[in-house]
């Protein structure tokens, strides 16, 4: 999700979320994230920040393959959105869709199936409805219309999860057997499953409650979490400033997300409980967003 720059916040807020050391067990883990000059890779302790080989400006929303050897993303460098896969070792870039040649405005927000054989994404190729989910082989090939929804992500068990009419919905890989997660007082989207399938994190704009009986009229984007059955809902961030695009680490202990609390978007980390929030990226020329953990 592209993040627009936000108003500069107080210096005290920035200081409160300064970078802090990562646990030793996590320091070898890598994340990819979106920046103005392309997709970056960085270690979880903030070291080794570099451009992914083969990336280009306007590459967006990276996601590591389940095998950790490729990154899928979408790019609008040519004026129309297309799905691209980059080999993380060689930097070889493979464009899987050709929107401009098919009079399609955009193919975007791609995501891998658990076995890495399939990629799902949103497209407006069926008459301008950008809420249509399509699937295709990860190596390219025929497209298959799946269902209507936004921001598809697979659970570890192979079911799709996506937003529909402000609610999170799960369905089988063909879009059938839909089940809604419990509706809350607000909208939910951008689901991110824990690796063991026990729960998921997501964005919520549930109205902000500042005191008992007092609810904000201007809900903000925050990170929520719930169990796989929709129970044990809890909000992990609550700062009246946009937080979004959560991603849960391979060991399930850490959540990466982006936030506008610095006056622009940066990638942060926090414990799965929402505690110990700390800054990971320090972009100097624009927003950093949309983190993805390498398996």
Q: Are 66 and 295 in contact (CB under 8 A)?
A: yes
> Which domain CATH number covers 130?
2.120.10.30
Answer yes or no: is 255 within a domain. no
Contacts of 4 (CB under 8 A, 6+ apart): 287
How many domains is the chain partitioned into structurally?
Answer: 1
* Closest alpha carbon to 235 in 246, 249, 6, 165: 246
* Closest alpha carbon to 256 in 3, 13, 43: 43
Share of the chain above pLDDT 70, in %: 83
Answer yes or no: is 39 within a domain. no
Answer yes or no: is 178 within a domain. no
Considering only CA atoms, give the Rg of the chain. 18
Answer yes or no: is 109 within a domain. yes
pLDDT in tens, 87-125: 999 999 999 998 766 566 789 999 999 999 999 999 988
pLDDT in tens, 130-152: 689 999 999 999 999 999 999 99
pTM for the structure as a whole: 0.86
* Closest alpha carbon to 236 in 184, 200, 263: 200
Alpha-carbon gap, residue 108 to 114, rounded angstroms: 19
Alpha-carbon gap, residue 70 to 64, rounded angstroms: 6
Domain hosting 150: range is 58-155
Answer yes or no: is 138 within a domain. yes
Backbone φ and ψ of 16, nearest 5° = -65, -25
Answer yes or no: is 45 within a domain. no
Answer yes or no: is 241 within a domain. no
């Amino acid at each position: 999700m592209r993040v627009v720059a936000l108003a500069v916040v107080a210096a005290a807020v920035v200081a409160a979320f300064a970078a802090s050391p990562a646990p030793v067990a996590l320091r070898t883990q890598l994340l990819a994230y979106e920046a103005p000059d392309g997709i970056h890779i960085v270690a979880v302790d903030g070291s080794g920040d570099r451009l992914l080989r083969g990336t280009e400006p306007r590459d967006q929303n990276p996601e590591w393959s389940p095998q950790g050897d490729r990154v899928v993303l979408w790019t609008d460098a040519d004026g129309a959105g297309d799905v691209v896969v980059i080999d993380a070792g060689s930097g070889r870039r493979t464009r899987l869709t050709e929107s401009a040649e098919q009079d399609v405005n955009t193919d975007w927000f791609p995501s891998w199936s658990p076995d890495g054989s399939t990629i799902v994404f949103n497209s407006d190729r069926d008459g301008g409805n950008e809420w249509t989910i399509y699937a295709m082989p990860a190596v390219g090939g025929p497209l298959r219309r799946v269902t209507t929804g936004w921001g598809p992500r697979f659970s570890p068990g192979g079911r799709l999860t996506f937003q529909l009419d402000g609610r999170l919905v799960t369905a089988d890989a063909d879009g059938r057997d839909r089940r809604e997660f419990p509706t809350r007082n607000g909208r939910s989207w951008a689901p991110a499953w824990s690796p063991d399938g026990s729960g998921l994190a997501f964005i919520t704009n549930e109205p902000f409650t500042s005191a008992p009986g007092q609810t904000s009229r201007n809900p903000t984007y925050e990170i929520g979490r719930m169990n796989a059955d929709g129970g044990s809902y809890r909000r992990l961030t609550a700062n009246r400033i946009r937080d979004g695009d959560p991603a849960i680490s391979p060991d399930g202990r850490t959540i990466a997300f982006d936030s506008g609390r610095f006056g622009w978007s940066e990638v942060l980390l926090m414990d799965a409980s929402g505690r110990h929030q700390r800054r990971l990226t320090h972009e100097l020329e624009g927003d950093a967003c949309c983190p993805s953990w390498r398996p």
